[in-house]
Amino acid sequence: MERVHFLEQSRFHEQAEKTFLEQKEKILRLLPEADVQHVGSTVIPDSLTKGDLDIQVRVPAEMFTAAVEKLSTLYAINEGSVQTDYFRAFQDDTFDLPLGVQLTVIDSKLDVFWKFREVLLANDAYRAEYDELKKAYEGKSMEAYREAKQRFFARLMETPEFKNL
């Protein structure tokens, strides 16, 4: 069973930001029209993180297929993740911080990662609740944590803060 562990975001912030900027530059060379965003807990000050870097790449629907092909030259497709005509996940575990890249069609059902970031940055109570959830799953099953995380974000999507983005 894979176990989940969390550390303070401050331990990873500098490296995460450096790697993000490097990857953003590479992505924009291939997809200059993309909106490339640093998402995930490494961008949320004073939060707990697994120590991985998450990047969201947002493109118009008509560019999605080409974007999948181009990002596939940089990263491996995350076969364990959902694959649709508006979402694809990529990964690269060769960096100091494991890298996840979520490709989404702008305004699609899964164009949510940047919104989660914005809500957590703006709301201390939600951020504290998310960190408490992480503390509750420290050292426990990654699968159980992912299920709890999914429930948390499903609730977050129902908030006025999220809906107003």
CATH number at residue 158: 3.30.460.10
Query: What is the tens place of the pLDDT at every residue in 64-90?
Result: 999 999 999 999 999 989 999 999 999
Q: Which two structure tokens, joined as six digits, stand for 29?
A: 């060379």
**Count of the separate structural domains present in the chain:** 1
Query: What is the tens place of the pLDDT at every residue in 21-53?
Result: 999 999 999 999 999 999 999 999 999 999 999
> Residues 84-103, buried b or exposed e (16+ Cβ, 10 A)?
eebbbbbbbeeeebebbbbb
Q: Which two structure tokens, joined as six digits, stand for 134?
A: 């992480």
| Any domain includes 33 | yes
The pLDDT, as a whole number, for residue 152 is 98
For residues 13 and 106, give the distance between their C-alpha atoms in angstroms, rounded to a whole number. 27
| Any domain includes 1 | no
- Domain extent, residue 13, equals 7-163
Tell me how far CA of residue 120 lies from CA of 3, 31, 130, in angstroms. Answer: 25, 28, 9
Q: Which two structure tokens, joined as six digits, stand for 23?
A: 């990857």
Tell me the pTM: 0.95
